């Protein structure tokens, strides 16, 4: 029995030319956005099998029931495999080539309320 609002994840049965297009789009997004580690790209297909990207999730959920983990299981990876691979990638990758921004926390920062007060 399926629960209300549940989403079933299963392998898409796509014609080879559509699968090629989806793979090319996902790869282009991966490279263009400079993604590293793991990400999930969600697509929707029109009735004539034209793929459109719905979203790129650069921090996919990691619960055992998340779409990302369920998808990994479909290619033979366990939840532990996914977590260990992500940790390994994070520890082994080179540092960012640009400095990351440092958050500024200070008492002089205006709050939204102070900025709009008369």
Q: Is residue 110 part of a domain?
A: no
Q: Domain of residue 53: give its range.
A: 16-92
Q: Is 69 exposed, middle or buried (0-12, 13-18, 19+ CB in 10 A)?
A: buried
Give the count of domains, the chain: 1
Give 26-75 pLDDT, tens digit per residue: 999 999 998 888 888 999 999 999 999 999 998 888 888 888 888 889 88
The residue that leads in pLDDT, 83 or 5, is 83
pLDDT at residue 6 is higher than 70: no
- CATH code at position 63: 3.30.470.20
| Helix pair angle (79-92, 67-74), 10° resolution | 100
Average pLDDT over residues 4-22: 83
* Closest to 32 measured CA to CA, from 44, 21, 24: 24
């Amino acid at each position: 029995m399926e629960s209300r609002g549940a989403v079933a994840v299963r392998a898409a049965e796509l014609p080879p030319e559509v699968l090629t297009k989806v793979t090319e789009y996902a790869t282009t997004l991966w490279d263009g956005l400079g993604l590293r580690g793991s990400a999930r790209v969600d697509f929707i297909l029109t009735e004539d099998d034209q793929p459109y990207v719905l979203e790129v999730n650069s921090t996919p959920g990691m619960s055992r029931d998340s779409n990302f983990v369920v998808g990994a299981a479909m290619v033979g990876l366990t939840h532990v495999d996914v977590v260990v691979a992500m940790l390994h990638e994070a520890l082994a990758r080179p540092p960012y080539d640009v400095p990351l921004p440092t958050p500024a926390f200070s008492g002089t920062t205006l709050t939204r309320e102070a900025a709009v007060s008369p």
